[in-house]
């Protein structure tokens, strides 16, 4: 899953990006409004964490412009804790609203909930034949036994499982699994798909030649 953080507090931006990467997210960042809006409009993120008070353009305006073209889940993160501010954010198109200071575990749980909701996945548990995913614990089991996946392999499985039955193009997978800091993508996807098949069964991820990949 790929997330965008728009936040002008450098220490918070850095720590949040690190925490999300440790959770297996591909993460892009922006420390001002115009750059944040440029990324948010140009890339199909799985979720956006948006501060309100930003240089160049505030979070309210970013949200207003973004909602004209995209339905990306947005979690507003701000020190503004008045009821009127929360109402303004939610009525303006935000999917959730978290006040600073916040607990990191709560932020991560809210982020997972937004992503599940977008994929119409009501719980953290996804069962596909003998394979079970726990998206909260980021664990995969096969016939009840734990399977060790790398962070990127898990992200690949989770994204395809969230879109079960859909054919996902290679371009879509690149966009959702890799962030702007990844520079060499030529054969990484093939390697990850091959490794997942070895661990979960060669028929688990189907190749639709000329189109992409699918989990039925």
Distance, in Å, from the CA atom of 114 to the CA atom of 159, rounded to the nearest integer, reads 14
What's 204's domain CATH number? 1.10.10.10
Output the tens digit of pLDDT for each of the chain's 216 residues: 899 999 999 999 999 999 999 988 999 999 999 999 999 999 999 999 999 999 999 999 999 999 999 999 999 988 877 888 888 888 889 999 999 889 999 999 999 999 998 888 888 899 999 999 999 899 999 999 999 999 889 999 999 999 998 999 988 888 888 887 776 555 788 889 999 999 999 999 998 887 889 998
Domain that holds residue 171: 125-214
Same structural domain for residues 96 and 150? no
What's 34's domain CATH number? 3.40.50.2300
Find the length of the chain. Answer: 216
Same structural domain for residues 137 and 63? no
- What would the two tokens of residue 19 be? 């925490």
Same structural domain for residues 40 and 86? yes
Same structural domain for residues 130 and 98? no
Could you give the dihedral angle defined by the CA atoms of residues 173, 175, 178 and 184, in that order, rounded to the nearest 10 degrees?
90
Total domains in the chain come to 2
Same structural domain for residues 49 and 22? yes
């Amino acid at each position: 899953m790929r997330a965008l953080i728009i936040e002008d507090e450098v220490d918070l931006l850095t720590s949040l990006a690190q925490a999300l990467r440790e959770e297996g997210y591909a993460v892009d960042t922006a420390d001002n409004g115009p750059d944040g809006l440029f990324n948010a409009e140009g890339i199909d993120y799985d979720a956006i964490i948006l501060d309100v008070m930003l240089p160049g353009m505030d979070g309210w305006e970013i949200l207003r412009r973004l909602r004209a073209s995209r339905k990306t889940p947005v979690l507003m993160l701000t020190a503004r804790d008045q009821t009127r501010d929360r109402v303004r954010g939610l009525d303006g198109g935000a999917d959730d609203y978290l006040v600073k200071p916040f607990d990191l575990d709560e932020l991560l749980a809210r982020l997972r909930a937004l992503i599940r909701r977008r994929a119409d996945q009501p719980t953290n548990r996804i069962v596909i034949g003998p394979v079970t995913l726990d998206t909260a614990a980021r664990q995969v089991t096969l016939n009840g036994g734990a399977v060790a996946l790398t962070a990127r392999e898990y992200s690949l499985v989770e994204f395809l499982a969230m879109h079960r039955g859909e054919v996902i193009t290679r371009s879509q997978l690149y966009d959702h699994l890799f962030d702007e800091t990844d520079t060499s993508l030529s054969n990484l996807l093939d390697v990850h798909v091959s490794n997942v098949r070895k661990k979960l069964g060669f028929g688990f991820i189907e190749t639709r030649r000329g189109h992409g990949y699918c989990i039925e």
